[in-house]
Amino acid sequence: MHKSVQDIINMKKEKKKISVITSYDYTLASLCDKAGIDVLLVGDSAGMVMLGYKNTIPVTMDHMIMFTEAVSRARKDSLLVADLPFMSYQASIEDAIVNSGKLIKAGADAVKLEGGMIMADTISSIVEVGIPVMGHIGLQPQTTVLSQGYKVQAKTSDTAMRLIEDAKELEQAGAFSIALEMVTKEVSQIISDSISIPTIGIGSGTGCDGQVLVAQDLLGMYDKIKPKFAKRYMNLSEDIVKALESYREDVQSGMFPAQTNSFSMDENELKKLREKIGS
Ligand code: KIV
């Protein structure tokens, strides 16, 4: 049985750090699950790293359903959380519930949505119908980016106070955890200490109860944006390009396919064939 929302909440109580990674496709999700990652997040960052959009705004419910289905076929042990994309939950609570239901039907265990206290009613309505919700405050790529660009959040005491209030309201509304994106490390620590649900940080320091990274950043596969907070554990894009160049050269020189990559006919059958075609 895979991890549950309650298992993730318990990890905070047991002072165990929570590992979260974005996943969008079957192959990589299988590897993340095998590596023992606690939570697979089908993030709407898929719009950028999988579909090549310059931000997450164009991502649709159909995209998110397809990615969620693929990841759900792969996961065995991890919890699966899927992002509600831009404008799938902001216009009405009904939209939010219907679209959360679609992601759950696609295989998610919980949904994530962006927004502070303004989203409290939406979150509590989704939770009331039985769907767990992860909040997302600090930098909110779906909206903050439209007005401010990618900026560190909670740098002043006023903005920090607002964020702390947001976190408390989200907990009150029934969120089971909160992603904190690009929040100053001091404020992340204060938030993590003042709520009982886990905080999952991205670019928000070590005080969070867990950490999330975009898989393509961690693996060194996406070069368009190189966030300061993303630790690169390998440079997979270099290795992939090298492998593809070797393949191209092998095809050009006739080294590929080798005998071992080919299939043969029975010799007698080949002889008969040659007689039939007169060669
Ligand atoms: O879409 C995403 O990948 C996210 C994480 C960065 C938290 O929301």
**Residue 138 maps to which CATH number?**
3.20.20.60
What atom in ligand 1 is closest to the CA of residue 22?
A: 3
211 HSE (CA, 13 A, CB side): 14
- Same structural domain, 11 and 145: yes
- Same structural domain, 33 and 167: yes
For residues 267 and 68, what is the distance between their CA atoms, to the nearest angstrom?
Answer: 49
- Same structural domain, 123 and 228: yes
- Same structural domain, 79 and 175: yes
Which residues are annotated as catalytic? 181
Q: How many domains does the chain have?
A: 2
22 lines ligand 1 (CB under 6 A): yes
- Same structural domain, 23 and 122: yes
> Quick one: DSSP state of residue 254?
T
All residues at 6 or more sequence positions from 224 whose CB lies less than 8 Å from its CB, including other chains: 48
How close is the Cα of 269 to the center of ligand 1, in Å?
A: 58
Q: What angle do CA 160, 18, 133 make, to 5 degrees?
A: 65
Q: Across the chain, what does the average pLDDT equal?
A: 96
Query: pLDDT tens digits, residue range 59-80?
Result: 999 999 999 999 999 999 999 9
pLDDT of the residue at 148: 78
What atom in ligand 1 is closest to the CA of residue 114?
A: 8
- Same structural domain, 166 and 257: no
- Same structural domain, 41 and 150: yes
Instruction: Return the structure tokens found at 19.
Output: 């590992």
- Same structural domain, 252 and 222: no
Other CB atoms closer than 10 Å to residue 167's CB: what's the count?
A: 28
- Same structural domain, 119 and 247: no
pLDDT of the residue at 222: 86
How close is the Cα of 244 to the center of ligand 1, in Å?
A: 29
What atom in ligand 1 is closest to the CA of residue 179?
A: 7
Mutate to test the pocket of ligand 1, among 39, 181, 204, 218 (most ligand atoms within 8 A of CB): 181
Question: Which domain covers residue 255, as residue numbers?
Answer: 239-278
**Integer Rg of the chain from CA:** 23
Name the residue with tokens 């904190």.
Answer: 180
Query: pLDDT tens digits, residue range 190-204?
Result: 999 999 999 999 999
> Quick one: DSSP state of residue 143?
T
Ligand 1, atom 5: nearest CA belongs to which residue?
Answer: 43
- Same structural domain, 103 and 156: yes
Per-residue CA distances from 162 to 90, 176, 177, 199 (Å): 20, 20, 18, 16
Q: Answer with the one of 199, 215, 234 that is the final residue of a domain.
A: 234
pLDDT of the residue at 150: 84
- Same structural domain, 131 and 251: no
- Same structural domain, 197 and 244: no
The pLDDT confidence band at residue 249, using thresholds 50, 70 and 90, is very high
Query: pLDDT tens digits, residue range 96-148?
Result: 999 999 999 999 999 999 999 999 999 999 999 999 999 999 999 999 777 87
